[in-house]
């Protein structure tokens, strides 16, 4: 992979994520109180783009999965971290519910399950999963791919927090004081 092309793709992805989360999604939340079909599509698209950018460092043609590394420890650690991350992501999202995840169910603030320990467990868990991928096929590019996810996810989280503060007001402020955004215990 050409380093300049890699940096260009990642920069364009950050710009597109900014447009999606800080302009389109933010506007929907302010004006409609929920996401439009267009904003929902763009959210899915930005994460699909991110997932497919893994092919900037994977040693297989799109959409093939490259062979696992020969190093047994790397293989075990990478796969274990990936599987744990995917499992927790699904578990956290199931506890939240699809309608709530799309800003369509605002009846009650969710402070249960993983959400009593951290405000964005699905974001953390998916970050863990993609870190497993980066360990399996480790490179400078893979580390950049994980950092790109952190930037994109943070833009989404900040936009969602603005929306939740408008809806739940003091309840959400109290929740933010009690529960950390990303790392439990901090």
Residue 151, token pair as written in the block: 């930037």
Span 145-173, average pLDDT: 96
Task: Quote the crossing angle between the two packed helices 121-136 and 140-168, to the nearest 10°.
Answer: 170
Closest CA to 97 of 86, 113, 81: 113
Per-residue model confidence as pLDDT tens digits over 87-144:
999 998 887 766 666 555 667 888 888 899 999 999 999 999 999 999 999 999 999 9
Q: Is the pLDDT assigned to residue 5 strictly greater than 80?
A: yes
pLDDT in the model for residue 44: 96
Length of the chain equals 186
Position 71 scores a pLDDT of 97
* Contact assessment for residue 164 and residue 98, using Cβ atoms and an 8 Å cutoff: no
Query: Tokens representing 32?
Result: 């409609």
What is the pLDDT at residue 94?
A: 83
Q: Name the least confident of 59-73, 87-101, 164-178.
A: 87-101
Determine the Cα–Cα distance for residues 68 and 45; give it in Å rounded to an integer. 27
Tens digits of per-residue pLDDT, 17-61? 999 999 999 999 999 998 999 999 999 999 999 999 999 889 899
Is pLDDT above 90 for 81?
yes
| H/E stretch holding 119 | none
What pTM does this model have? 0.91
32 versus 185: which is more confidently predicted?
Answer: 32
């Amino acid at each position: 992979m050409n380093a300049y092309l890699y940096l260009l793709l990642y920069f364009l992805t950050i710009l597109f994520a900014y447009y999606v989360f800080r302009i389109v999604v933010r506007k929907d939340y302010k004006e409609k109180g929920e996401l439009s079909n267009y904003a929902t599509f763009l959210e899915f698209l930005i994460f699909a783009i991110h997932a497919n950018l893994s092919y900037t460092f994977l040693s297989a043609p799109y959409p093939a999965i490259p062979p696992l590394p020969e190093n047994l420890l790397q293989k075990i650690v990478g796969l274990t971290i990936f599987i744990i991350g995917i499992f927790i992501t699904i578990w956290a999202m199931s506890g939240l519910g699809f309608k709530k995840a799309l800003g369509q169910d605002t009846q009650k603030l969710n402070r249960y399950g993983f959400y009593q320990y951290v405000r964005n467990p699905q974001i953390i868990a998916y970050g863990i999963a993609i870190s497993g991928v980066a360990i399996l096929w480790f490179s400078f590019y893979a580390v950049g791919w994980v950092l790109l996810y952190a930037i994109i996810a943070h833009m989404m989280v900040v936009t969602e927090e603005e929306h939740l503060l408008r809806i739940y007001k003091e309840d959400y402020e109290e929740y933010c004081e009690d529960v950390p955004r990303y790392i439990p215990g901090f």
